[in-house]
Chains A and B, each alone.
Chain A
Amino acid sequence: MNIMGALQDVWNYQLGTGGPKVWEVAQFVLIIVAAIVIARVIRTNIRRIMKERVPKNTLSNMEKLVYYTIVFVGFVIAMSTIGFSLSGLLVAGGIMGIVIGFASQTVVSNLISGLFLIIEKPIKIGDGVNIDDVAGIVEDVRILSTTIRTYDGIYTRLPNEKVFSSNIQNYVAHGARRFAYSVGIRYRDDADQAKEIITNLLESHPLVLKNPAPQVFVEELGNSSVNLKVRMWAPSTHWYGVYTEMLWKIKVALEKEGIQIPFPQRVVWFADTLKGDITTDRQA
């Protein structure tokens, strides 16, 4: 009986003068925990149900919106259990907002930038991008920061303010992209034949687009070689595989037909004829 009484006393104990009672604090914690649990369950279900139906980026934003809305509603309800009214909370929130705004301009700047990034959508989750010389795949666009997995697998967090104010190169925003090689052949080789060999090779590759058609032309009469420019378009999502594959294939195809890629060479003229006999090893 005494134990029950003691527990009841603790339960009804008031924290400070005019403060909330222990059971009210417990209720507050319980509501917050319940809100987080409910938010997580709903988020998981949204992810499971919508994964195949909506784009990854939209799904991520949807998950965040639902999650934070539920947590916020839970927080507001929980606050009312310890004596904070919603109107009081809004007033307090407004004042706090001003204080926080002045105190943490960078955070607010990141927040606003994050909102603009979500609205403008220059990048989406899964895009291959280069932001402020950080190249990789966008992992997440959060409220305060954007995370990128670089091509060598390193987790990189960029503040949204930086993302928003930097030049963003999105490699997959358009359906297709162009890339080019320079291929040098010897002066004695037939450039038209080389162009035909390369064109046929590009035609036979599935991912070198039919339209816009590939271009092969003599770009420059170089010091040691006739330089051909080879331009092609490929689907943006698969261009790198084509890029790494085709240069060597071009080299092999040209050599198969007797066309070679020359080493750098220089013709040297002597002012005076050399005196004496020069006999090479081969002649000897």
Chain B
Amino acid sequence: MFGTYNLDVHLEEEGIELRVEGTGRRRRYYRKAGGEEVEKVVYADRAKLIVCPVEPVNVPDTTISEHLLTELTTPAVIASGSRDTFYVKFPVEIGVFVVDSRDVERIDIFTKTQPKYTLYGPPERGIVCKWWKSDLYMEEPEVDRLFEGVMQVDVKNDYYQWMELHHVVFWAFDMKIFYNRHAFMHAHLTIQKRTIGETSFITHKPKNMHKAVDIYQAKGLKKLKEKYVMEWGFQ
């Protein structure tokens, strides 16, 4: 389903139907997924349709949160000074964009996952995050590609003590999503103190993958800060 298409596409996969009908300047966009149907009229001469994974914080509402909290089913205990790599899964949200030589416009975002939110930190100062629970994998796991993506996490413990990791928080503004068969992200986590860590994303495009449309850049927003500081701990 992920890819770039002409404005006469008809895709059906795993209960998702997406099509653009009509000829000439006026086309009709239709999408059905999980009992939800969306129809829009698209006016365009020469445009392409991009279907790709987007930052998983947009459904059901883009204004609720800009962060993703991944809770680990099995906590990880990390020795002081050590570095390691593990994989987690993240919820896939699928974005549909129309693009021409001048601009990119989002026309639809949907997901097969059941959204859930949580609070990271205390009620008076914490932030609301999109919540997802994932096992921790030593090797890249198989995923239902329209449901979950894979995130590689390089973790480094700079603190002088052992640390137990129950959850990691990522900032959607900073995410770099790539895709081929499935969605993929590559993140860094540096544990600095008992309750402070830093998460960031690697911009380098993996081999044989495409870069997903960045919603924030599509909106014309410049990214000034490229890291998120976890200041409420890891448990």
Q: Which residues of A contact B (CB under 8 A)?
A: 52-53, 174-178, 204, 206-207, 209-212, 233, 235, 237-238
Say how far A156's CB is from chain B's closest CB, in angstroms.
Answer: 25
B123 touches A206 (CB 8 A): no
A176 touches B115 (CB 8 A): no
A206 touches B119 (CB 8 A): no
A174 touches B124 (CB 8 A): yes
20 sampled A-B residue pairs with Cβ under 8 A: A174-B125, A174-B126, A175-B127, A176-B126, A177-B123, A206-B115, A206-B116, A207-B64, A207-B117, A209-B117, A209-B128, A210-B116, A210-B118, A211-B118, A211-B131, A212-B119, A212-B123, A235-B64, A237-B64, A238-B61
A209 touches B118 (CB 8 A): yes
How far is A177 from B126 in the complex, measured between Cα atoms in Å? Answer: 11
B117 touches A175 (CB 8 A): no
How far is A177 from B124 in the complex, measured between Cα atoms in Å? Answer: 9
- Any A CB within 8 A of the CB of B181: no
B119 touches A176 (CB 8 A): yes
Chain A residues with CB under 8 Å of B131's CB are 210-211
Chain A residues with CB under 8 Å of B116's CB are 206, 210
B220 touches A52 (CB 8 A): yes
Chain B positions 114 through 138: 1 when the CB is less than 8 Å from some CB of chain A, otherwise 0: 1111110001111110010000000
Chain A residues with CB under 8 Å of B63's CB are 237
A233 touches B123 (CB 8 A): yes
Q: In the complex, what residue of chain A is closest to B115 when comparing beta carbons?
A: A206
How far is A176 from B125 in the complex, measured between Cα atoms in Å? Answer: 9
Contact of A233 among B114, B119, B222 (CB under 8 A): B119
Contact of B123 among A52, A175, A237, A238 (CB under 8 A): A175
Chain B's interface size range is 20 to 34
Chain B positions 201 through 223: 1 when the CB is less than 8 Å from some CB of chain A, otherwise 0: 00000000000000000011110
How far is A51 from B51 in the complex, measured between Cα atoms in Å? Answer: 29
Q: Which residues of B contact A (CB under 8 A)?
A: 60-61, 63-65, 114-119, 123-128, 131, 219-222
B221 touches A175 (CB 8 A): no
Q: Which of B60, B65, B115, B118 has the most CB of A within 10 A?
A: B118
How far is A52 from B216 in the complex, measured between Cα atoms in Å? Answer: 11
Chain A residues with CB under 8 Å of B222's CB are 53
How far is A237 from B117 in the complex, measured between Cα atoms in Å? Answer: 13
How far is A166 from B222 in the complex, measured between Cα atoms in Å? Answer: 39
Closest 4 CB pairs of A and B: A210-B118, A206-B115, A211-B118, A235-B128
Chain A residues with CB under 8 Å of B128's CB are 175-176, 209, 235
Q: In the complex, what residue of chain B is closest to A211 when comparing beta carbons?
A: B118
How far is A235 from B116 in the complex, measured between Cα atoms in Å? Answer: 11
Q: In the complex, what residue of chain A is closest to B61 when comparing beta carbons?
A: A238
Q: In the complex, what residue of chain A is closest to B71 when comparing beta carbons?
A: A210
Say how far A6's CB is from chain B's closest CB, in angstroms.
Answer: 58
Chain B residues with CB under 8 Å of A235's CB are 64-65, 117, 128
A204 touches B114 (CB 8 A): yes
How far is A167 from B123 in the complex, measured between Cα atoms in Å? Answer: 21
How far is A237 from B66 in the complex, measured between Cα atoms in Å? Answer: 14
Chain A residues with CB under 8 Å of B64's CB are 207, 235, 237-238
Chain B residues with CB under 8 Å of A211's CB are 118-119, 131
Q: In the complex, what residue of chain A is closest to B121 when comparing beta carbons?
A: A175
How far is A238 from B126 in the complex, measured between Cα atoms in Å? Answer: 16
How far is A212 from B65 in the complex, measured between Cα atoms in Å? Answer: 16
A53 touches B118 (CB 8 A): no
